[in-house]
Structure formats: structure tokens, C-alpha cells
Amino acid sequence: MTVSPLLSRPGAVAVEGGSVAAHYGDPLREQRLLAEGAGLVDRSDRDVLTIPGADRLSWLHSLTSQHLDRLADGTGTEALVLSPHGHVEHHLVLADLGGVTWADVEPGTGAGLQTFLERMRFMMRVDPQLGTDRWAVLSVIGPRAAEVLAAATLPVPDAVAALDGGGWIRRMPPIGDGGAQVYDLLVPRTELDTTADRILGAGASLAGIDAFEALRVEARRPRFGVDSDHRTIPNELPWLTTAVHLDKGCYGGRRPSPACTTSAGHRGGWSCCTWTASARCCPSRGRPCWPARARWAGSAPWSVTTSSASSPWRWSSSRSPWTPRSPWADPPRRSIPTTSPPRPTTP
């Protein structure tokens, strides 16, 4: 784990057990900055893989849930690696540029993904490499993000554009209430400090991971390993619309995605709950939840909190956690009659 140089900035408080800043002294101010202005978030703890080679797109197309065979140069997308039973094993955010496909993934998962890809090379002309020690991810976020990038003389792409000196900048879907634009920058790790100073000098301010997470929760964007477990299938999360192509051909774990539907009695998907100010604090991750209906009284926990955030100025001091399906117990199943009820007889 490489500690980010931005942790030496004034007020920086590291994520517990992590290598980037959770906040820089005032997480709520930083959160509002991302929602209404422009902030720079250090996400250099994400693992980065490079996949060069003439067969890279057709090869990834056959291994992942996304249609990558005709991915155009200078574009990006998301993809999943599924188990044979359709469970999510990896979530990749991709960019293809200059004959190389780049994938950034959750911290600590890059080595496992590289091992999987190496095992699947066979005779294909590809060379997957883990490059976390050489590359780092930064994100410029907020309604003024494009303005800040332009002031820093950096590209403001619609998809993916190359950066001078190596790396790229990629536009991502907005977060928060939809007004916070997101631009991910991949820069050489040796240039992390210099690039950060360039963006901060153009009008952005530093914001920690806590502020980013709050807007991610509001936008209902899942994180692999945080909002998913070893049993999660794409149908349970918004990945079904962002990282899965339902009309492509065969790939590992494909069958459950088009075949399953979320219905009564199924493990289910996410629900978004609102906690009032009387709750005093956001529910912690792993907190069990029960439905309020009396007929579920005494039942096992129906769901568990995975992500939560507080936005006092936006939600009138309410708390908004995500509560996906429980890893402990499924809700009671409805009794479905196997035969049609008798028709009423006419007098």
C-alpha cells in the first residue's frame, strides 16, 4: 500500500487502515463543496491495471458482462467479472485509449483480478499488468468541475482524452442529485502532487473520501465489496443497467442476469431509507434493519446497512442509508397457490 503524498496536506485525516484522506478537517463543508462548487478527491488507493495487445477487446468481451468487442478508442464504460453462478467477483471501470485498455478497480482487488486475467490468457495477444505503483487516480467533482479543468488547461472530454505526460482524463456519470459532474484523472504517481497543485490553483479545493462517499450514496451508485457480498448478482444492484449488456453472447456467469427477476420472495435489491434528525447519527455499516410492519415482528433481520451519509443542509438533517438485502436471512416467502381458485357458481 502506497501512502498518498496528499496525506501530508494540512488537516488531512487518513481513512482507517487506508492510504488516502477521509477528510481535511471539515467533512460536511467538503461535501457541500462537491455538491455546489468544485473539489479534488484523492482516490489514489484504487488499483490500476493496463491491458495492451491486439486481442484485448475481444478477449475482455468474452470474459466480462459488458459488450467490449467494438469499444471505440477514447471511450470508457463499466464491466463485471462474474462467477460461473453469476455472482459478482470484480467491478471494472474501463477506458480504452491508444491501443491500451485501462481498468481501475476497488482498493486491494487488483492483484486478484490480474491473477484471474493471467489464467485466462491462453494464446491471446494480451498482457495484463498491475500498475498501481506507477499510476494514481484523482477525481475532480462538482458543478464547476469543467470550469476548473479548463482553467488548469486540462482537457474537458465527453468521454476519454489523453493527458500530456501520460495518463488520461475520463468523464463519469454525475453523482449527488445529478448536478455534481465527475472527471477521473489517471496520472503518473510521481506527478500526483504536481497535478493536484495545478488543479487546486485553478479554483478547486481538497475534499476527502467521506465527502465523495456521501454524494455516491445520494446517487445510489454501488461499490464492490461495500454494497455487495459474495452472493450478489447484478440484478440486485444498478450495475444491471451500467455494467451489463443483456444482448451479447456467451460469457462466464451470463445465464442468471437475463433469467432472474427481482420479485417477492427473492433476495431482492436495494432500498433507500431516510433517517430523521432524531436518529442523531447515521447507522453504521452492518447494522441490521427490520421492516416496520407489525406482521414481520419477531422475524430475522430483513436487510443490513451497507452505506450511509448525512447531508444536513440538503435533507433537513435527515440521514439516508442504503439497505440492501440481508446476508443473514431472506424475508418470508409468500404462499403462491399452484391451482386457480374455483370460479363462483351462478344461481
Instruction: Give the pLDDT score at 236.
Output: 86
Band of pLDDT at residue 325, cut at 50, 70 and 90: very low
Instruction: Give the pLDDT score at 2.
Output: 86
Asked whether the beta carbons of 220 and 272 are under 8 A apart, the reply is yes
Which CATH superfamily does the domain covering 47-130 fall into?
A: Aminomethyltransferase beta-barrel domains (3.30.70.1400)
Residue 196 is given by DSSP the state H
Instruction: Give the pLDDT score at 6.
Output: 97
How many Cβ atoms from other residues are within 10 Å of residue 119's Cβ? 8
Query: Cα(30)–Cα(37) distance, rounded to whole angstroms?
Result: 10
Instruction: Give the pLDDT score at 296.
Output: 47
Contacts of 99 (CB under 8 A, 6+ apart): 52, 73
> What φ, ψ does residue 189 adopt, rounded to 5°?
-60, -30
Averaged over 114-129, what is the pLDDT?
95
Report which listed range, 189-193, 225-229, 277-281, is most confident: 189-193
- How would CATH label the architecture of 5-46+132-218? 2-Layer Sandwich (3.30)
Instruction: Give the pLDDT score at 247.
Output: 80
Averaged over 122-149, what is the pLDDT?
97
Least confident window among 11-25, 142-156, 189-203, 272-286: 272-286
Averaged over 62-76, what is the pLDDT?
94
Regarding predicted confidence, which is higher, 299 or 264?
299
Contacts of 93 (CB under 8 A, 6+ apart): 76, 78, 103, 104, 105, 172, 184
- For the chain, give the mean pLDDT: 82
What's 17-40 look like in SS3?
Answer: CCCCEEECCCHHHHHHHHHHCCEE
Band of pLDDT at residue 327, cut at 50, 70 and 90: very low
Instruction: Give the pLDDT score at 286.
Output: 58
Averaged over 57-81, what is the pLDDT?
95
Query: Cα(240)–Cα(257) distance, rounded to whole angstroms?
Result: 8
Instruction: Give the pLDDT score at 85.
Output: 87
CA 326 to chain centre: 20
Band of pLDDT at residue 309, cut at 50, 70 and 90: low
Per residue in 213-270, pLDDT tens? 999 988 989 999 988 888 888 888 889 889 998 887 666 666 555 555 444 334 455 5
Cα dihedral sign, 236-177-217-288: negative
Contacts of 336 (CB under 8 A, 6+ apart): none
Residue 60 is given by DSSP the state H
Nearest to 20 by CA among 5, 30, 40, 39: 5
Asked whether the beta carbons of 195 and 184 are under 8 A apart, the reply is no
Band of pLDDT at residue 312, cut at 50, 70 and 90: low
Say yes or no to pLDDT of 38 above 90: yes
Averaged over 279-294, what is the pLDDT?
53
Asked whether the beta carbons of 185 and 238 are under 8 A apart, the reply is no
Band of pLDDT at residue 275, cut at 50, 70 and 90: very low
Instruction: Give the pLDDT score at 248.
Output: 79
Q: Which residue has the cell 487488483?
A: 110
- Within a 13 Å sphere around the CA of 24, how many CA atoms are in the beta-carbon half? 18
Q: Could you tell me the residue ranges of all domains in the chain?
A: 5-46+132-218, 47-130, 268-331
Give per-residue burial for 3-12: e unless 16+ CB within 10 Å, then b: ebbbbebeeb
